[in-house]
Amino acid sequence: MTQPIIKGHESHMRKAENLGIMDNVSRHIKVVFLGSGSAFFKSLFCDVISIPGATKGEMALVDIDLERLELSRQLGEKILEKAGMTGWKITATADRAEALAGADYIINCIEVSGTECVRFDNDIPLEYGVDQCIGDTIGPGGLFKALRTVPVFLEVLKDVERICPDAWVLNYTNPMSIMCLAANRASSAKVVGLCHSVQGSSHNIAEYAGVPYQEMKWRCGGINHLAWFTELTHEGKDLYPLLKKKASEDPETLAKDPVRLDAMLYFDHFVTESSGHFSEYLPYYRKRQDLIDKHCGDGFLGQSGFYAGEWPKWRIENDERRRKLISGEDEIELDRSWEYASYIIQAMETNNPFKIYGTVMNTGLITNLQQNNVVEVACTVDAEGIVPNYFGSLPPHLAALCSANLYMFDLAADACIHKSKDLAMKALMLDPLTAAVCSLSEIKEMFERIFEAEKEFLPGFK
């Protein structure tokens, strides 16, 4: 799901169940956290020091915002004090090359010019009728976030190749698909994209169906934020007839997830992203105000301009919450979350196989989606690394929905690698929602206006 999020949606903070890794970590490990001002830092650091046996190590914090870097350092020290982990140390620097030396794992949560550009990403497209709820992985907002962020990420990966080529890069930064696609095309660094939408959505389904989560069986595949639960059963019985009945007959159930449940009625399957985010990946729900009014709710349920309006406030609130945790006004909770990062580290260190869902290159994994592009599928993690699992084919209508977005990602990734305005503009022309609303001339004009507004953060593009 979109990251980082401070309030209104805290699925990434939920406690993890017993996930089955049996052995303990035994060696000193070094984890580098790029973008330590991210709201993910507190939960992911607590996760790492909660790994059984991980009693010694280093968390190297990196952020170019020195004030937020210091807040994260102080919070990290408080977490270690609360946990009684004397074998761990915190280091903090604005020099990522210094931090990367000796790294075993790198958690990437960088943000490039988010507060300065978030309004341009939202407000200029809105003048052309392109209404976004989140707008940081797809659409005009997602494209321009990629144009700002991917070139910086590729520079980071050059440092990884040079300084710590054996380290795994665990990417949490959006736009996930474009970030990972560009990384795999332009770098030899080992990168996997991590999101909590599969975990969150599977729990949502269990809640809507009224079945115990641990008893539900499912299979999922597609692309990040547009992966589909193609099999969904409880005690051998298909859950979709029950979910469809509830979505079509129970207004209270529909209101909990209005876009995803409505789409399920027509496409027969449930998707892995919140209603608001999901509505941006399709041409159906946001192209007219009456459709937005009918299908979209508040906040993450599809509110217009939600991310642009809330993101700057979330950053301030995140910093204030850190200050309260550091001062002791708020209590530090050490529970391990269901985020994948710490389980990946544990599985690699212990050689105990563990399953995640990751964004990886499609090397025949989903047979009816574009190869040399990215997919989100189950992956097995152990001492050998991260091995994606073969999925097979998606139902053709679901593959078509994913493919429409993959063509946009394809051009966007190459635009970022080559710093090409022309490829970036053509990528926006292929975006499903933008194309449903605007003519080609309008898209070109919109693109040029956003580019001009954000050109300070787009060096080298021509």
Determine the pLDDT at residue 22: 82
Residue with tokens 């939920």: 14
* Strand extents, DSSP E, 97-223: 105-108, 168-171, 190-194, 216-223
Determine the pLDDT at residue 21: 82
Whole-angstrom Cα Rg for the chain = 21
Determine the pLDDT at residue 20: 67
Determine the pLDDT at residue 17: 46
Structure tokens at 145: 């976030």
Q: Of 4, 6, 3, nearest to 318 (Cα)?
A: 6
3-state secondary structure of 331: coil
> 12, 196, 225, 234: which one is catalytic?
196
Segment holding 58, helix H or strand E: strand 57-62
Q: Of 178, 169, 170, nearest to 150 (Cα)?
A: 178
Which residues sit opposite 193 in a β-bridge?
A: 171, 359
Which residues have CB under 8 Å from 316's CB, separation 6+? Answer: none
Rounded (5°) CA angle 162-167-169: 100
Q: What digits encode the pLDDT tens for the residues 359-399?
A: 999 999 999 999 999 999 999 999 999 999 999 999 999 99
Structure tokens at 165: 């080529």
The answer to whether residue 418 is catalytic is: no
How far apart CA 438 and CA 444 sit, in angstroms, is 10
Determine the pLDDT at residue 19: 61
The domains located in the chain, with CATH, are: 11-120+137-195+312-349 (3.40.50.720)
Q: What digits encode the pLDDT tens for the residues 258-307?
A: 999 999 999 999 999 999 999 999 999 999 999 999 999 999 999 999 99
Kindly report whether the global pTM for this prediction surpasses the value 0.85: yes
Determine the pLDDT at residue 451: 98
Determine the pLDDT at residue 2: 36
* Strand extents, DSSP E, 267-322: 270-271
3-state secondary structure of 282: coil
- At 421, phi and psi to the nearest 5? -65, -40
Structure tokens at 383: 């001492």
Q: Of 258, 311, 306, 299, nearest to 132 (Cα)?
A: 306
Helices 306-327 and 114-127: crossing angle, nearest 10°?
A: 160
Q: Of 208, 221, 267, nearest to 393 (Cα)?
A: 221
Point out the residues of the chain with pLDDT beneath 70.
1-20, 114
> Which CA distances in Å does 174 have to 22, 150, 193, 432?
32, 10, 9, 18
Residue with tokens 């635009």: 415
